Amino acid sequence: MSKHLPDPPTTRPTAPRRGPDRPSKGGAAKGRPQNRQSGKAPSASGQPAQERLGRPGRPRSAGKHAAIIDAAGALFLANGFDRTTMDAVAERAGVSKQTVYSHFDNKAALFQAVVRQVRLSYLSDLPAVAGDPRPLPERLTAVGRQFVRLITSNQAVAMFRVLVAQSGAGTDEPPAATHRSDGRSPGVPRGGRQSALYYEAGPMMLIDGIRRVMTAALAAGDLEGADADRITMDFVALLKGDVHMRRVLGLPVDLSDAAVEAHAARCVETLLRAYRPVSSPSAAISSARMGDIK
């Protein structure tokens, strides 16, 4: 009797018998191994960490990126900066709002991307022009031609009109200065933050690109009499001339290839008369080229 009584406890494994019962109630025993295999541990928000953080490392769709920029560009032109929402951009682009934010941190970044796309579509090769082996007049004429095409394009003119209309809305006071003598923005103007965003992503980058060309020309001895900033701003003013004003005001202006080429060439000739040294290695070539263009 004494030997028989101790036997049942040693032969009754209570834990093994209870183990199989737990999965049948809640499935907890099976759920944990599945989580470890998938690697998607629930976060504090109850969602997988990768999804909540925007799926890090996942390549973004170039097609969606372009669609977002196109949709935003159309809405900014139609409604202005303030009245364009990220929800409206997502709806027009056919994507979710989360997708929009996965490509752009905020509306300001999206707005600058729109301006940058327009700029690059006309002046994508400006940095390379500084090292172009062609004579300076030809390089400057190429830059001038692209610049005029950009500032008179439908997108640039429409955006310019919208920003001018919004920058002074609700006040008779002139806006604060939007640029310094070197073309750089000193900060956010009182006339509107969107104007500063536009200037920094568009005109200021254009001016920086032209400045690189002038800096290279000064270093090569093809220009003298002023620094690169002064020469750059003079060239920009010459290129804009009456062409940009008439285009913005909706007045007739000849923008044919021949007219734009002739306008750019005249601006280059005027600039070189002011800043080209008489002993410049390309002086003779420059005069000949300008005569051919005329």
Q: Which domains does the chain have, with CATH numbers?
A: 62-104 (1.10.10.60), 118-170+178-293 (1.10.357.10)
38-42, 84-88, 129-133: least confidently modelled range: 38-42
H or E element at residue 255: none
Which residues, 6+ apart, have CB-to-CB distance to 145 below 8 Å? 260, 261, 264
pTM above 0.85, yes or no: no
Question: pLDDT tens, 57-67?
Answer: 445 688 899 99
> Half-sphere exposure of residue 238, counting CA atoms within 13 Å on the CB side?
24
- pLDDT value at 3 more than 70: no
Partners of residue 48 on adjacent β-strands: 42
State the Cα–Cα distance between residues 64 and 1, nearest whole angstrom: 82
Q: Highest-confidence range of 36-45, 203-212, 247-256, by mean pLDDT?
A: 247-256
Q: Which phi and psi (to 5°) does residue 14 adopt?
A: -65, -40
Which pLDDT belongs to residue 108? 87
Residue 35: pLDDT band (50, 70, 90) is: very low
DSSP string for residues in 50-77? HHHTT-TTPPPPHHHHHHHHHHHHHHHH
Q: What is the mean pLDDT of residues 207-225?
A: 91
Which pLDDT belongs to residue 46? 36
More confident residue, 30 or 250: 250
Which pLDDT belongs to residue 148? 93
Question: pLDDT tens, 65-111?
Answer: 999 999 998 888 888 888 899 999 999 999 999 999 999 999 989 98
Say if CB 30 and CB 23 are below 8 A apart: yes
- Mean pLDDT score of the chain: 73
More confident residue, 162 or 148: 148
Question: pLDDT tens, 172-212?
Answer: 454 444 444 444 444 444 446 778 888 888 788 888 889 98
- pLDDT value at 51 more than 70: no
Q: What is the mean pLDDT of residues 117-146?
A: 78
Secondary structure of residue 279 in the 3-state scheme: coil
Question: 211 to each of 39, 205, 232, 234, how far by Cα in Å?
Answer: 52, 10, 6, 11
